[in-house]
Amino acid sequence: MSSLYANYDPTKAIVQADPYPYYAYLREHEPVKYIPEMNAYAVSRHSDVQAVLRNHEQFSSGPLIQLAFGDFNPAPDSPYLLASDPPDHTRLRNLVNKAFSKRMLDSKRTEIVAIVKQLLDEASENEEFDVIEEFSSPLPVHIIGQIMGIETEMRADFRRWSNNVTAGGNAAALTDAQRAEMRQDTEDFRDYFLKRIAEVRKKPEANLISDLVQAEEAGDKLTADEVLAMCVLLLIAGNETTTSLISNAIICLRDFPEQEKIARADRSLVPNMTEEVLRYLSPIQFLFRQSISETQVAGVTIPKDATVLAMYASANRDESVFKNADQLDVRRENLRQHTAFGWGIHMCVGRALGLLEGELALNHMFDRFKTIEITQEKIEWCDAFYLRGPKNLKIRCR
């Protein structure tokens, strides 16, 4: 493979256009790569990525939110579940699990189906439409908004807030006007949720925000700032992952038409196809860790306090784990090994919801449309350099 791919820097446009050849080069030649432009170390092999994610005593999640959101963090003084280490993480996770239970998810299935059908009804009024604008982006915002008890008229604002906050880690590439808009959105994001938290603390409601406020573990409850951080995380993670999952699935079906035929013929494969899309075209390309002390990974010394990129997307294309990893295979059997939702104690708390949304969305699109054709020539990928999903995706459905 060309040594051109040795120059890996995920903030560069040439890498963002197609990072996968870079990942393949790194796995083969530099499984731990120092990136001087970021002063960070990229860990690319599946076994090493899992080891980093499992070892929270050596690799802290502490700097994750600062690196991902930059100066546009709606809850800067709050501990995020995703960026906490034990024992704080254990406490937060136990409290959130009580509110984000399987029973709650099962109770919402009928409502989720109704939202999927309604959005597809509206989108399919036109034979050609932007599937992100009309379906894959509003879908998770409607669902998590309903679960959280967010007013319907606010959901367009939440989509914008989510998109802007996730671009904060790459703010240097943005204009002054974009940064000003993001700063205002960050403040509005925070103000809205603090108001809602205060309302449900005073008068409990039947929604997730109220459940988080009321959740208790061994006499311990979440503070207002902790609930705020949890709301921000659930909204952003749920929005970005599901939006990209659905749109990435459509790209995968274009590139692997035989796999679409297999899944359409045997709908029992759709849940597996959903997981395979997450593996093949991972919405979260990597997340950040910080080394607690000097250590070694794959024979490379990583100094104390270094930023480490755990490369989810590269791990998911590792041929030592996934045979024919650069091919989509809806019958793939070892998908429990993919890292698209993280690994270890930081496995995504909304994993089951995201998979359900993806499965229902794809099944109902297959029910409704015999053909799904991408009509735009070029795909422009999202601004956040650690995420992978198109900004827009025009499709024609018949």
- Could you give the domains of the chain? 3-397 (1.10.630.10)
Position 361 scores a pLDDT of 97
**Phi, then psi, of 40 in degrees rounded to 5:** -145, 160
Name, in order, each residue with C-beta under 8 angstroms of 331's C-beta and a sequence gap of 6 or more. 262, 269, 272
pLDDT of 319 > 80? The answer is yes
Position 302 scores a pLDDT of 98
Cα 183–Cα 185–Cα 188 angle in degrees, nearest 5:
115
Using CA of residue 343, residue 59, residue 385, residue 237, what is the dihedral sign? positive
Question: pTM value?
Answer: 0.89
Provide the pLDDT confidence category of residue 11 given band limits of 50, 70 and 90.
Answer: very high
Position 373 scores a pLDDT of 97
pLDDT of 366 > 90? The answer is yes
Position 175 scores a pLDDT of 82
Which residues share a beta bridge with 396? Answer: 128, 373
Position 179 scores a pLDDT of 83
pLDDT of 185 > 60? The answer is yes
